[in-house]
Structure 1
Amino acid sequence: MDRHDDFREFVLARQQALMRTAYLLTGDAHLAEDLLQSVLVKVAGQWYKLAKDGNPEAYTRRALVNQYISWRRRPRPELPSADPPERGTSYDDAALDRIVLRQALAKLTPKQRAVIVLRYWEDLTEAQTAEALGCSPGTVKSQAHHALARLRTLAPELADLLSDPEIEEVAR
């Protein structure tokens, strides 16, 4: 048995979920692949210690978020983006909502976007999200509240999709 078999099994079992997280963070399939690959290289180097002492999935998720935030700090050329198509086209409402939401997510700060992705798409608890981001659950709550408020401002047509009574109750 090869010493890397456990790592291969982990990657095979969790690759799709980790790729989804990377895609939701970056908003681009190619960047998500690059992000996941760079993180998995780092995880492979720490695998013996992680497999023995830690939670490799939580470590990998946190490494994805940290690497994403690090990448966002680097200056890069601004890419033009197309406006979503008008409602009269053949796109269904769900597809339009996804386009608008993706564009609005791209305008959030990296940490706000990470909180939204981990908390709502990955369906992590506040404690798990806080652990993944290395912050307190209170920070997760406030970041989620501010991010949802900003998303409602950026994409008012999605307001019904962006309501979270739990966060709104805590914020009052």
Structure 2
Amino acid sequence: MTFEEFVAGHGQSLLRLAFVLTGDRHLAEDITQTALADAFRHWGKVTAAGLPDAYVRRMLVNAHLSWRRRRWTTERPAEPIDTAAAGSDPADTVAARDSIRVLLAGLAPRAWTVLVLRYYADMDDAGIAQAMGVSESSVRATASRALAGLRGAAALVDVEEIR
């Protein structure tokens, strides 16, 4: 498989994963581009590993974790709201989504990544461990602590269900 064929077949799924990891469309594009540029540079090594999609996914996760470590600001642009889908009062939906974003932003980068890979990418503990370069028990412990922290914080904030 050539690099161009790989990008044509897996580029959009990598971009979607990056968006879920970052929550920002433009940053997701930057992180995906970084991972794909690194993959292109080392394409021989990537294909020699046998599973290029898993290899590049790990590169994407590492790029995301690297960005989270050097993030210099917590300011984030707001996304426009689809008021037709928001229900009767868009302010309630915005407040609930903001509460959830604040809770998730409070997670450590590794915990955020574990939860995204588990619940968005639908990966099992072994796959997450391989993608992040940690043990399966570390994945389970990180997910357990992150979910317990989110549950406790959500009880304090009284987050409502979002449609």
Structure 2 partner of 1:131: 130
Shift of 1:52: 3.2
TM-score, length basis structure 1: 0.76
CA distance in 1, matches of 2:12, 2:101: 19
SS in 2 for 1:155: helix
Which structure has more relative contact order (CA 8 Å, sep 6+)? It is 2
Q: Answer yes or no: is the 8 Å Cα contact 1:62–1:133 preserved in 2.
A: yes
CA distance in 1, matches of 2:91, 2:4: 40
Shift of 1:159: 9.1
Query: Is residue 27 from structure 1 mapped to residue 28 from structure 2 by the alignment?
Result: no
Q: Answer yes or no: is the 8 Å Cα contact 2:114–2:128 preserved in 1.
A: yes
TM-score, length basis structure 2: 0.79
Shift of 1:54: 2.6
CA distance in 2, matches of 1:11, 1:91: 40
- Structure 1 segments unaligned to the other structure (5+ residues): 162-172
Task: Count residues in correspondence.
Answer: 154
CA distance in 1, matches of 2:38, 2:146: 30
Q: Which amino acid aligns with 1:36?
A: T
Q: Answer yes or no: is the 8 Å Cα contact 1:126–1:140 preserved in 2.
A: yes
**CA spacing shift, 1:99–1:53, aligned 2, 3 Å:** same
Which of 59, 65, 71 does residue 67 from structure 2 map onto? 71
CA distance in 2, matches of 1:159, 1:91: 13
Structure 2 partner of 1:54: 50
Computed over aligned residues only, the root mean square deviation of the Cα atoms, in angstroms, reads 3.0
CA distance in 1, matches of 2:160, 2:136: 24
**CA spacing shift, 1:77–1:99, aligned 2, 3 Å:** closer
Q: Answer yes or no: is the 8 Å Cα contact 2:103–2:150 preserved in 1.
A: yes
- Structure 2 segments unaligned to the other structure (5+ residues): 79-86
**Deviation larger for 72-81 or 53-62:** 72-81
CA distance in 2, matches of 1:64, 1:96: 31
Deviation per residue, 1:21-55 (Å, 9 max, x gap): 11111111111110000110000111122223331
Structure 2 partner of 1:121: 120
CA distance in 1, matches of 2:36, 2:24: 18
**Deviation larger for 137-146 or 52-61:** 52-61
